[in-house]
Structure 1
Amino acid sequence: MKMLKKFYVNWESKFDPLSLPRNNNVDTLKLYEDQLQELKDKLSKKSKIL
């Protein structure tokens, strides 16, 4: 869990869709979708606070 949290901190700060490898692997795309959804959830929570 700690590792995942660390990954998210790095991923959020350095995320650049253009730098992602062009990978058509379904698992990889699913992972990106899950991460994107989690970021959207975080963003909506933060905007509710504001």
Structure 2
Amino acid sequence: MADPLEDYYVNEILPLLEKDRALQAVTLLRHLQSEHPLDRNMSIAVLNVSEN
């Protein structure tokens, strides 16, 4: 299965982590969900995280 967050890594996740390396995964996911509320990939990411 392809990484559902791959498209957001360079443009959104990486800049946030460069500013604050202590950010938790759930914080990053919530940020992406708030920025992209209609993106189906965010729902997939939540399901993948909750399964682990």
TM bucket, shorter chain:
0.3 to 0.5
Give the number of the structure with larger relative contact order, counting CA–CA contacts within 8 Å between residues 6 or more apart. Answer: 2
Which protein shows a greater Rg? 1
